[in-house]
């Protein structure tokens, strides 16, 4: 791998400081989650002396978190799978294939990116209600796909635009159909981007509260983050239980990210085999 003669340690020190600054809040949250409500009110910052694991079980049991956890896993997995599939297909077509209306369609996708959720909130809910999709998994999945598809298409298109045409041409000369090029070339080459946009979409869907509340109003269909947010009532000062809930919600995404970011980085080095 190429290296630049840069004073690497000089850079590493501020980066290490930044790393501490980014770990600290997570540790702080964990510390708070181990306190009792009373301990927290009296002293926010001190290191907790006894570990109150029961906050985790309180958070888990109080609002039926197991059910919400399952709902979130189902919905997010399906939504991300669809987003990656549809987004990569569209990204490929818009970036590499010349066809009538491609720039117009790209502009349409781009414009959709700028739509704030609030302006379409009620009409979307009504469409879902009228088609019977409200309070169903497919309804929420579709809502997430719709919400994050412009982002995904934009990213995949930008990414695929940088793929040299020669590779595509070579594949066509070899006799591949367009679909074949998609399967055999674009998907493997797009792996770093797919992984990145996949983890980001997963994060967005997992942490979403408002869309979930609108599309799945009934109590046992809720998603995890909604459950965690309800741990904080209008004035609730039980921050430790809330912090415990936040940790429970954060762990799956963290684990997934830690697992995937190696793939992303490896994909980066693997992708550098062109040119």
What would the 3-class secondary structure string for 216-236 be? CCCHHHCCHHHHHHCCCCCCC
* CB 228 to other proteins: min, Å: 7
- Nearest CB to other proteins, comparing residues 66 and 115: 115
Nearest to 28 by CA among 264, 243, 181, 267: 243
What binding mask, one character per residue, do residues 198-237 give for other proteins by CB under 8 A, x or -?
A: -xx--x---x-xx--xx--xxxxx---xx-xxxxxxxxxx
Q: Which of 17, 19, 66, 170 binds other proteins (CB under 8 A)?
A: 19
Residue count of the chain: 275
The interface with other proteins within residues 246-265 (CB under 8 A) comprises: 246, 249-250, 253-254, 257-258, 261, 264-265
The interface with other proteins within residues 48-87 (CB under 8 A) comprises: 58, 62-63, 74-75, 77-78, 81-82, 85-87
* CB 51 to other proteins: min, Å: 19
Q: Which of 34, 56, 65, 94 binds other proteins (CB under 8 A)?
A: 94
Does position 28 bind other proteins by CB under 8 A?
yes
* CB 49 to other proteins: min, Å: 18
What would the 3-class secondary structure string for 234-262 be? CCCCCHHHHHHHHHHHHHHHHHHHHHHHH
Residue 51 phi/psi, 5-degree rounding, is -90, 115
* CB 107 to other proteins: min, Å: 9
Q: Which of 38, 47, 49, 50 binds other proteins (CB under 8 A)?
A: 38
- Nearest CB to other proteins, comparing residues 49 and 116: 116
Element (H, E) at 58: helix 54-62
- Nearest CB to other proteins, comparing residues 49 and 234: 234
Element (H, E) at 206: helix 191-207
Residue 233 phi/psi, 5-degree rounding, is -75, -155
Distance CA(203)–CA(253), nearest Å, equals: 7
Residue 108, SS3 per DSSP: helix
- Nearest CB to other proteins, comparing residues 51 and 219: 219
- Whether residue 57 contacts residue 247, with contact meaning beta carbons closer than 8 Å, is answered with no
Size of the site for other proteins (CB under 8 A): 162
The interface with other proteins within residues 159-188 (CB under 8 A) comprises: 159, 161-165, 168-169, 172-180, 182-184, 187-188
The interface with other proteins within residues 134-153 (CB under 8 A) comprises: 134-138, 141-143, 145-147, 149-151, 153
> Which position has the token pair 């590499």?
96
The b/e string for 130-165 (b: 16+ C-beta within 10 A; e otherwise) is eeebbeebebbbbbbbebbbbbbbbbbbebbeebee
* CB 74 to other proteins: min, Å: 6
């Amino acid at each position: 791998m190429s290296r630049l003669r840069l004073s690497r340690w000089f850079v590493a020190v501020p980066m290490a400081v930044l790393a501490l600054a980014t770990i600290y809040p997570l540790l702080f949250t964990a510390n708070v989650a181990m306190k009792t409500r009373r301990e927290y009110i009296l002293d926010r910052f001190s290191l907790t002396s006894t570990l109150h694991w029961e906050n985790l079980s309180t958070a888990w049991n109080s609002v039926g978190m197991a059910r919400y956890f399952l709902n979130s896993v189902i919905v997010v997995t399906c939504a991300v799978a669809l987003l990656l599939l549809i987004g990569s297909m569209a990204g490929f077509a818009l970036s590499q294939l010349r066809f009538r209306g491609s720039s117009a369609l790209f502009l349409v996708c781009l414009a959709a990116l700028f739509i704030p959720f609030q302006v379409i909130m009620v009409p979307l809910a009504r469409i879902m209600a009228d088609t019977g999709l409200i309070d169903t998994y497919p309804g929420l999945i579709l809502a997430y796909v719709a919400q994050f598809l412009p982002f995904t298409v934009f990213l995949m298109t930008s990414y695929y635009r940088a793929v040299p045409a020669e590779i595509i041409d070579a594949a066509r000369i070899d006799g591949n159909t367009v679909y074949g090029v998609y399967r055999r070339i674009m998907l493997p080459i797009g792996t770093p981007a797919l992984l990145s946009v996949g983890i980001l979409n997963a994060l967005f869907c997992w942490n979403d509260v408002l869309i979930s509340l609108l599309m799945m109003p009934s109590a046992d269909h809720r998603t995890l983050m909604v459950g965690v947010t309800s741990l904080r009532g209008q004035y609730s000062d039980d921050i430790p239980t809330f912090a415990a809930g936040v940790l429970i919600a954060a762990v799956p995404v963290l684990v997934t990210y830690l697992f995937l970011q190696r793939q992303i980085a490896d994909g980066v080095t693997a992708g550098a085999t062109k040119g």
